[in-house]
Amino acid sequence: MKPAFIGIDIATESTRALLVDENANVLGTASAKLAPVIRGQDGSVTQDPQSWVVAVASLLAEIQVIAAAAQVEPISLVISATSGTFTLVNGEGRALIPAAIYNDGRASSPLDRAIFIRKAEKLEGKLHLVHTPEFVIASLLNLKPQDIAADWSHALKTGVDLNTQSWKPGILSQANTENISLPNVVAPGAKLGAIGKLNIHAGMTDGCTAQISAGGADLGSAVTTLGTTMVIKLVSNKDVSGPGFYSHLLPKTNWLVGGASNLGGISFKEFASDIKSWDQKAEAHGPASFVTYPLHSKGERFPIANKDLAKVSSGKPINEIDNYRAILEGIAFAEKLSYEILAKAGAPLTGELRTAGGGAKSHVWCKIRATVLNRPVIAQKGSGSDLGAALIAIAAVTSPTDIAAGISAIELPAGEIYLPVQEEVEAMASGYKLFVKITESPHL
């Protein structure tokens, strides 16, 4: 039988599995719902971690049926999940608490949340902090979660130093003081165990696998993912970080630099019921009469790290079409500012710029962004965190010593190329200058 590869993405509300061949052609998919996310008045955001186990077991059963029908044999599996999501288990490997989701507000970091929860719940004895992949993989291998190593991507926010590829000394000391153990750390692609002929390899977070799936594994290339919010990722040859942005390491030497903005689809949700119509009107309208930083609510992460930042505009729209067009342009201006900030920090955009997510389906928005950036924008087809996980699964077999090189060798489907609208380039350049000016205003 020919070999096949499995990528699984454990998101917040659901999980999805993808079966692909060695060229990343999709052979089949499966999906399953997860337990509901519970939001508490104390800022907690939690979920039953056992629902991950049940969902993944269901997905793998479906995928095995698909594989048998396709006459292929899965030989490699990678799991991707949200960054820093964890649970606490006891010595027997049993979860003692609902999992704390990545945006849990009870403390600023996973370890601090674990310490807070331990005290609040009065948990005694030695505890083990495990992230989503370790918890799920342990169930597949019939091992204790604390015996599964964590990849340095999912564990980054917990306190891994990517330069030493191990826990920061201060984090280890803090954990030991609180009688909380942290898992061993390994590189993405490392083998963690096997179920028969199916090898399980360490993965990366959903943000990284989404970038990889859209063609963002080569040095100098970048991916802008446009969903409810906007995520910027660029591949650098060194660790780059600053206000609102930081790096993941794709073995062996490619750094995935980026940050997430609060701008995105949420910025124009009042137009969401008829986006195609508004897109057509915005294209016919041409450049907006004013510029705006279209935040939907207070606070921004990147490109402007300011928890007090609110929506700001240079003027008022002449009508609703003008308003909608200005919002699209404002997000494009923020994207341009993001890449300029990364370049200044040492990570220039020298390769292709690809785009993924729901926003990549808007032809008008892609044209506006290409015009603002004054460079081609490639809308990638079929991208997703499950595909990115599958690409790592392939590379873990074909190029285990250099995962980035293995991924780059896989030829992804061609995307749709959007070029700048030349007659609007000058207007967008002027709009960007004004955008930078109003976002640097003293009242912000």
Same domain, 257 and 181: no
CATH number, position 152: 3.30.420.40
Query: How far apart (Å, rounded) are the C-alpha atoms in residues 327 and 293?
Result: 8
The pLDDT score that the predictor gives to residue 311 is 95
Is 46 part of any domain?
Answer: yes
The answer to whether 252 and 403 have CB atoms below 8 angstroms apart is yes
Mean pLDDT across 104-108: 92
Is 343 part of any domain?
Answer: yes
Residue 443 clears pLDDT 80, i.e. is over it: no
Cα 271 to chain centroid distance, Å, stands at: 25
Same domain, 371 and 327: yes
Is 393 part of any domain?
Answer: no
**Which segment of 88-92, 226-230, 259-263, 290-294 scores lowest on mean pLDDT?**
226-230
According to DSSP, the residues that pair with 46 across neighbouring strands are 38, 100
Same domain, 307 and 351: yes
Residue 278 clears pLDDT 90, i.e. is over it: yes
Query: How far apart (Å, rounded) are the C-alpha atoms in residues 417 and 376?
Result: 7
Query: How far apart (Å, rounded) are the C-alpha atoms in residues 97 and 331?
Result: 39
Same domain, 157 and 233: no
Query: How far apart (Å, rounded) are the C-alpha atoms in residues 210 and 380?
Result: 11
Confidence label for 341 from pLDDT (cuts 50, 70 and 90): very high
Q: DSSP alpha helices (H): ranges in 270-384?
A: 275-285, 320-345, 363-373
Mean pLDDT across 384-400: 96
Is 386 part of any domain?
Answer: no
Give the domain-ending residue among 140, 173, 203: 203
Same domain, 131 and 255: no
Same domain, 50 and 133: yes
Give the domain-ending residue among 159, 179, 203: 203
Same domain, 243 and 357: yes
Is 408 part of any domain?
Answer: no
Mean pLDDT across 376-397: 94
Please provide residue 197's backbone torsions phi and psi, each rounded to the nearest 5 degrees. -90, 0
Tokens in use for 279?
Answer: 């897109």
Same domain, 109 and 12: yes
How does 326-357 read in b/e, with b if 16+ C-beta sit within 10 Å? bbbbbbbbbbbbbbebbeebebebeebbbbbb
Same domain, 196 and 326: no
Give the domain-ending residue among 148, 173, 203: 203
How many separate domains does the chain show?
2
Residue 442 clears pLDDT 70, i.e. is over it: no
Mean pLDDT across 361-386: 93
The pLDDT score that the predictor gives to residue 195 is 97
The pLDDT score that the predictor gives to residue 433 is 97
Question: Helix (H, G, I), strand (E, B), or coil: what is residue 145?
Answer: helix
Rg of the chain taking only CA atoms, in angstroms? 22
Helix-strand-coil percent breakdown of the chain, rounded to 5? 40, 25, 35
Same domain, 182 and 278: no
Q: Which domain holds residue 189?
A: 2-203
Mean pLDDT across 334-347: 97
Same domain, 266 and 235: yes
The pLDDT score that the predictor gives to residue 330 is 98
Residue identified by tokens 């030989």 is 75
- Residue with more model confidence, 360 or 64: 64
Residue 441 clears pLDDT 70, i.e. is over it: no
Is 401 part of any domain?
Answer: no
According to DSSP, the residues that pair with 248 across neighbouring strands are 256
Mean pLDDT across 207-221: 90
Confidence label for 307 from pLDDT (cuts 50, 70 and 90): confident
**pLDDT per residue over 280-300, tens digit each?**
999 999 999 999 999 998 899
Residue 444 clears pLDDT 60, i.e. is over it: no
Q: DSSP alpha helices (H): ranges in 31-128?
A: 50-70, 110-121
According to DSSP, the residues that pair with 194 across neighbouring strands are 199
**pLDDT per residue over 137-184, tens digit each?**
999 999 999 999 999 999 999 999 999 999 999 999 999 999 999 999
Mean pLDDT across 377-389: 91
For strands 86-89 and 127-131, give the pairing. Answer: antiparallel
- Read off the pTM: 0.89
